[in-house]
């Protein structure tokens, strides 16, 4: 496992997280129903989109405010193709993924070539997001308007039967596989020349260029990786929802949440997005107490987080761990146990 990761620290944390997430549904199924199983799916969906935003925004300063649109484009493309051709979704979803990836890399290319600042990219992608939402709602002949289109879903009936698991849990494990792969990918990326180049570009673009880093290329790589990851998650998200509807892919229902998750969990960390997504989903469940006040509480949360807690949970925990030499102690303990 540590050979996959190039960094033993990453490998260890990823192993712990994945082991925990593997047994989590078994516990949830034991104690709760399908509603909680659906929450688990949503948790991984958002964790993955947050990981994508982490790569493209936190590492390369390209604030993509159209993650909802990217997921939507991939999903609608897939669903429309399945509808039109009748071919299985498993053959067609790569087309949707590539559509999202293509748009992502195009935006990164144009933005890098025109030397767009972070705010210009933000407004550009926000405009694209809103245009996409208008399209999803308005182009009824293709997208079915606000009621959306039915989606067969990325289901694996033989697995459901063989393992005796409900469809939500199977979908959860599919998402978990994607998460495991993106852990490996992220760790390898950030602990290689890519990560170094990203750091250099983020700190000073001109200086990075002057030492021979191809800024446009690296930004395109980051944009493509993020968009492909989001594109991959889109159809799995729609499988969880059961239908493809425009409201699932709006700025308010995806991008706002993902931003909160990223900042809360911690930017530029491997586990931050997962921790952030878990916390927001948990908080959201507690917000049921507030009921209709949910939106207002999200607003306050966003303000407080950005003003007072913009380092995030994971870096904070690491800081404390370092202060109390927790890592050393755990390592000693682990060594003793073999």
299: contact with another protein by CB under 8 A: yes
CB-nearer residue toward another protein: 82 or 124: 124
Where does this chain touch another protein (CB under 8 A) — which range of 126-134, 179-187, 235-243, 267-275?
126-134
CB of 273 within 8 A of CB of 47? yes
**Mask 244-283, x = binds another protein (CB under 8 A)?**
-------xx---x--x------------------------
Taking each continuous run of H as one helix and of E as one strand, the counts in the chain are 17, 2
298: contact with another protein by CB under 8 A: yes
Of 137, 214, 253, 284, which lies in the binding site for another protein, with binding defined by CB under 8 A? 137
CB of 225 within 8 A of CB of 238? no
Say how far apart CA 235 and CA 76 lie, in whole Å: 8
Number of residues that bind another protein (CB under 8 A): 40
Of 286, 292, 333, 337, which lies in the binding site for another protein, with binding defined by CB under 8 A? 292
Phi and psi at 243, nearest 5°, equal -140, 160
Least distance in angstroms from the C-beta of 201 to another protein:
14
Of 152, 163, 203, 294, which lies in the binding site for another protein, with binding defined by CB under 8 A? 294
Least distance in angstroms from the C-beta of 148 to another protein:
15
302: contact with another protein by CB under 8 A: yes
Say how far apart CA 313 and CA 267 lie, in whole Å: 9
84: contact with another protein by CB under 8 A: no
Cα 316 to Cα 234, 308, 321, distances in angstroms:
31, 13, 8
Say how far apart CA 280 and CA 261 lie, in whole Å: 6
Cα of first residue to Cα of last residue in the chain, in angstroms, is: 16
CB of 183 within 8 A of CB of 16? no
**Residues at the contact surface with another protein, assessed by CB under 8 A:** 63, 110, 114-120, 122-124, 126-128, 130-131, 134-135, 137-139, 251-252, 256, 259, 292-303, 306-307
């Amino acid at each position: 496992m540590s050979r996959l990761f190039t960094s033993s620290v990453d490998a260890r944390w990823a192993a712990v997280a994945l082991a925990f997430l593997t047994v989590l549904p078994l516990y949830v199924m034991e104690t709760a129903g399908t509603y909680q199983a659906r929450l688990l799916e949503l948790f991984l969906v958002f964790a993955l989109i947050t990981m994508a935003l982490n790569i493209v925004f936190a590492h390369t300063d390209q604030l993509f405010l159209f993650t909802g649109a990217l997921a939507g484009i991939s999903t609608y493309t897939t669903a429309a193709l399945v509808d039109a051709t009748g071919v299985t979704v498993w053959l067609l979803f790569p087309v949707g993924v590539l559509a999202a990836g293509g748009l992502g890399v195009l935006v990164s290319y144009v933005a890098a070539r025109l030397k767009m600042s972070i705010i210009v990219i933000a407004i550009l992608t926000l405009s694209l997001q809103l245009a996409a939402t208008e399209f999803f709602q308005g182009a009824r002949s293709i997208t079915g308007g606000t009621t959306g289109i039915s989606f067969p879903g990325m289901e694996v009936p033989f697995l459901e039967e063989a393992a005796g698991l409900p469809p939500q849990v199977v979908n959860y494990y599919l998402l978990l596989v994607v998460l495991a792969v993106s852990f490996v990918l992220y760790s390898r990326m950030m602990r290689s020349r890519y990560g170094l180049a990203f750091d250099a570009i983020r700190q000073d673009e001109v200086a990075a260029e002057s030492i021979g880093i191809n800024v446009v290329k690296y930004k395109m790589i980051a944009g493509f990786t993020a968009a492909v990851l989001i594109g991959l998650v889109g159809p799995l998200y729609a499988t969880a929802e059961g239908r493809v509807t425009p409201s699932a892919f709006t700025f308010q229902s995806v991008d706002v949440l993902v931003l909160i998750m990223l900042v809360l969990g911690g930017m530029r960390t491997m586990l931050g997005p997962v921790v952030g997504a878990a916390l927001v989903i948990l908080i959201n469940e507690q917000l049921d107490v507030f009921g209709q006040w949910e939106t207002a509480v999200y607003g306050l949360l966003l303000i407080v987080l950005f003003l007072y807690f913009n380092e995030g949970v994971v870096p904070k925990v690491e800081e404390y761990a370092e202060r109390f030499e927790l890592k050393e102690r755990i390592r000693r303990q682990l060594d003793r146990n073999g």
